[in-house]
Amino acid sequence: MYAIGEYVVHPGQGVCQVKDVTESPDAVYQLLPVGQRHPVHISFPVASEGRLRPVLSRVEAEKIIEEYPAMQVDDFAAKNISLEEEHFRKEIRAGSCRDSVRIVKTFRVRIADLSQRNKRPPVAYERILKQARERSLLELAVALDCTPEDVEVLFRAHEGEVPENN
């Protein structure tokens, strides 16, 4: 059972903080999604807590960032883009933070490849990239106790890019 104040990953909402646990006939977690403009409390049954997972540890988060440049891209391809989008959305929802980071890298590579060939990437690619990026940055930010922008700077530093001065 998760304690009040702990961070967990909800399959649909991403990173949430446990705000309360009600012990009514059916025990329920009150979860508050992190990083949303207008977060709404989510009631989640304790009986289904197997669908929740704890946020990464700091060590695991640092390891993912460190291994990012060598991380393999996903070579999954389907007959059409909607099947690809469905596959990757399921993987983002059910997978780990590492899976989301790998999906971000995969779609950055795919979009860059299409752009180099003067082809416009499908809108679905942008949607998948955005969803995976937001999910992974939030989880890494909570694990490292920093902002998502700070996590982006860490990724750029490990890729060998010089951070931009604003």
User: Given pLDDT bands bounded at 50, 70 and 90, which one contains residue 163?
Assistant: very low
Q: Please answer whether residues 145 and 7 qualify as being in contact, where contact means their C-beta atoms are separated by less than 8 angstroms.
A: no
Q: Could you tell me if 138 and 97 lie in one domain?
A: yes
pTM: 0.90
Number of domains in the chain: 2
Q: Are residues 11 and 37 in the same domain?
A: yes
Coil, strand or helix: which one is 157?
helix
User: Could you tell me if 36 and 87 lie in one domain?
Assistant: no
Q: How many CB atoms lie within 10 A of CB 79?
A: 7
Q: Which helix (H) or strand (E) holds 8?
A: strand 7-10
111 and 64 together in one domain: yes
pLDDT digits 0-9 by tens, 22-49: 987 889 999 999 988 888 899 999 999 9
Host domain of residue 73: 58-159
Please return the burial class of 106, using the count of CB atoms within 10 Å of its CB with bins 0-12, 13-18 and 19+. buried
CATH at residue 101: 1.20.58
